[in-house]
Amino acid sequence: MAVAPDPVPVGFPPGWSQPASGDGPVTRREALSVPAVSRAVDLAATTVAALPVEHIVTDAEKGTRVRTRPTTFMDQPEPDRPRYATLVDTSRDLILEGRAFWIVTDRYADGFPRSVKYAPLTDVAVSTDDYGDTRVVTYRGRPVRPTDVIGFYGWHDGIVNHGGRIIRTALALENAARRYADAPLPSLIVRNTSNYELSPTEITELLEGVKRARQASAVGYVNAGAELDTMGWDAAQLQLVEARVFTNAAIANLCGIPAHFIAASNVGGSSLTYANASQEARTLVDYGLKPLLAALESRLGMADVTPRGHTWRFELDAMLRGNPMERSQLYHSLIPLGVLTVQEAREWEDLTPKADTDHPQPAPASPNPGGPDDAPNR
């Protein structure tokens, strides 16, 4: 029998809206404008959102544990959007800002959520009294019951808050690379060696002409009254490529993603091949996705969302099942031991069911088992 959801508001830890100090937060737009950040966030969010979800029902009295695919709430949390889109937005919020919100829009007769609405962080505000006990929640400026808010909280306060320094460094390197793309040679000084003093208008025209000539051609001309002196360093001397690779690796550490997954492979010396693809998937899950998976699963398993004994889990079997050779060796070992059946192995491989070969039925008895020679004489 389902137990009514916990009426106590959950998921609003003290100080949740206070960003980390450090060098100060950056905006989401600034963070996602860095290719390495965008790649890391998208990789984690889209990978988790694409995973199948299984519904686990545990009966402690009977000692049973049943796994099924969701047919209700988590099959499509939002009525007007697919689950993939809902989980992508939720995962992005958790990674970037350390929290995410769903607003309950409908409930079953037992009080548990039937459907929700993903709420962008800019649309939700939470305030408390001096003691931090009374909580007032507003969604798009309108009060909402705290029990109708499902708050997800991550493993940190968001990379836009505690990663401001490295993200700003990446932005500065992007700007430097763009400047050197516009003017690939070192900065120039035009020196007047004649006795004629140029007017401000003439100086501006001269500098604009030099700039256009640098962009149009590597060959230029100056008369005897001017000299060109270089100042500063070119891109190679500044080691922009090396600096950007190092920054990408630092951003990978910030986002908890192995560096070679965001095109910083020459830092770690790792490469992705067919032979190690399954191991790389395990590395991504173990060292990159587990905190995000735990944040989602643990919140969805709380008493205000799911009845006691019911939990939600993201299925990782398809992602971690290895290459065909590894899987065939696994089946070859487990089926003879009775741990796995042929039908279950075929299901894992997404193959159509076939006749039961694990427990073959005896052939039906012939109506005349002895054959024509044994027929009674008439």
User: Do 288 and 345 belong together in one domain?
Assistant: no
* Same domain, yes or no: 74 and 158: yes
Q: What pTM was estimated for this model as a whole?
A: 0.69
Q: What is the pLDDT of residue 182?
A: 62
Radius of gyration, CA atoms only, the chain: 32
In terms of domains, do 205 and 329 share one? no
- Residue 329 pLDDT: 81
Nearby residues of 196 by Cβ (< 8 Å), 6 or more positions away: 225
Q: Are residues 334 and 292 located together in one domain of the fold?
A: no
The answer on 215 and 78 residing in a single domain is: no
What are the tens digits of pLDDT across the range 147-184? 899 999 989 999 999 899 999 988 888 887 777 666 55
Q: Are 111 and 99 in contact (CB under 8 A)?
A: no
Whether 81 is covered by a domain: the verdict is yes
The CATH number of the domain where 224 resides is what? Answer: 3.30.1120.70
CA distance linking residue 206 with residue 53, whole number of Å: 66
Using CA atoms in the order 315, 317, 319, 322, what is the torsion angle rounded to 10 degrees?
170
For 208, the domain range is 187-231
Does 191 lie in the same domain as 122? Answer: no
Decide if 337 is inside a domain: yes
Per the structure, how many domains does the chain have? 3
Residue 354 lies in a domain: yes
> Which range has the worst mean pLDDT, 144-153, 264-273, 347-356, 363-372?
363-372
Of 27-31, 81-85, 250-254, 275-279, the range with the lowest mean pLDDT is 275-279
